[in-house]
Amino acid sequence: MNHKICPVVMLAQQLIERRSISPEDAGCQDIIAQHLNYFGFTVEPMHFGDTKNLWAWRGSGEKTLVFVAHTDVVPAGNETLWTTPPFMPSIRDGSLYGRGAADMKGSLAAMIIAAERFVEAHPNHRQKLAFIITSDEEASGANGTSKVVQALMARNEKVDYGLVGEPSSTERIGDVIKNGRRGSLTAQLCIQGVQGHVAYPHLAQNPIHQALGALKELSMIEWDQGNAFFPPTSVQITGLKAGNGVSNLIPDQLHVQFNFRFNTESTYSMIRNQVENLLERYALDYQISWILSGEPFLTPKGELLDAVLNTVQHYCDSPPDILTTGGTSDGRFIALMGAQVVELGPINQSIHKVNESVSIADLQLLTKMYQRIMEQLLLT
């Protein structure tokens, strides 16, 4: 196929040209809205703060399939290291290069073209097809998909299936799909001591010394044993800060940051209670704040997972691995609506890297996969 007239490549190029560094959208959603409006979608902008969001739908059946995507990208870094400018999409050796090609403007383009082809073939589809698109997934996400979901839930919108286009694949398209993700919980801990001269330790209280035992025990706790779908809950201490670099001064505070990746066997309240009981047992003078970025979620075998598995097996030689590994995704917000959620997207080897790219053949295959999933879920 001539890449110059391949619709999914053309749309992906248009999106990559927009320097949409999170939370900027840089006009990407205007392009998407034009496509969706042309094919009979109702498009509703849902902007919150500095973030642009889009909710679009077509049809009015009992079941709703929503495609979940983002238009924002991470910064390109040192642009002189790129073979071609990161926001000037280029095609080399059968691949499309540019920031966001794999994460996730390529799969967003595939979703849109798949929807257009589906509507052309099935203009009277029985069930509802929808999109949630945000310009802030890569940064805080505070005003992104989470806010859209809150607004939709407040007006009793129903979503049954959520397909997230994050780059889930590792070696080939569809070799890995995600049917869940671990939760993410961060703690910011401050241990209070008493400042003093290192030569007079009896007149001070060193918060570093006081905290060492508790931090060691924290790092060694077995929170749970995991289950058939998730590894055990883990904690990593990600930051320690005390003092101001002066060697003869005992600091008055120690700041510690740590993060949990937790499964469905543990809960936020369970982890919080265990940590705070530990700190109390060591008689520490402390303050702690908690940031829950997302609860764990899991989609068991059902209509969506069956449709994705059927699709991958139809186009590929072997079935996919069904995993819950990796960080968080916006799928966690769709799961709050009671929806089945699966992630299927491009190969992730080049994401967030210099010379990010996606195979054009993979984009074309992904478009076919998305269309086949629509056909399985929206025509009955």
Task: Identify whether 285 is a catalytic site residue.
Answer: no
> 314 among the known binding-site residues?
no
CA-CA distance, 242 to 24, in Å (whole number)? 35
Residue with tokens 């077995």: 222
> 171 among the known binding-site residues?
no
CA-CA distance, 365 to 222, in Å (whole number)? 43
200-205 long-range contacts (CB < 8 A, ≥24 apart) are 201/250, 204/250, 205/250
> 138 among the known binding-site residues?
yes
CA-CA distance, 114 to 373, in Å (whole number)? 10
Q: Could you tell me which of 72, 77, 61 has the C-alpha nearest to residue 19?
A: 72
> 70 among the known binding-site residues?
yes
Contact 340, 299 (CB under 8 A): yes
Strand pairing class (297-298; 249-250): unpaired
Catalytic position from the list 72, 160, 295, 356: 72
As beta bridge partners, residue 66 has 130, 162
CA-CA distance, 246 to 211, in Å (whole number)? 20
Cα 202 off chain centre by: 50
DSSP 8-state code for residue 232:
P
Catalytic position from the list 25, 116, 136, 137: 137
> What single string gives the DSSP state of each residue in 86-106?
TTS-EEETTEEESTTIIIIIH
Task: Identify whether 330 is a catalytic site residue.
Answer: no
As beta bridge partners, residue 278 has none
Which residues, in sequence order, are CB contacts of 31 under 8 Å at separation 6+?
11, 14, 15, 18
CA-CA distance, 235 to 256, in Å (whole number)? 13
> 103 among the known binding-site residues?
yes
Q: Could you tell me which of 284, 240, 278 has the C-alpha nearest to residue 258?
A: 240
As beta bridge partners, residue 287 has 190
Residue 44 φ/ψ, nearest 5 degrees: -120, 110
Q: Could you tell me which of 108, 85, 32, 69 has the C-alpha nearest to residue 358?
A: 108
Strand pairing class (196-197; 249-250): antiparallel
Catalytic positions, written as ranges: 72, 137
Residues of each annotated binding site: 70, 103, 138, 166, 352
Residues of each annotated binding site for Zn(2+): 70, 103, 138, 166, 352
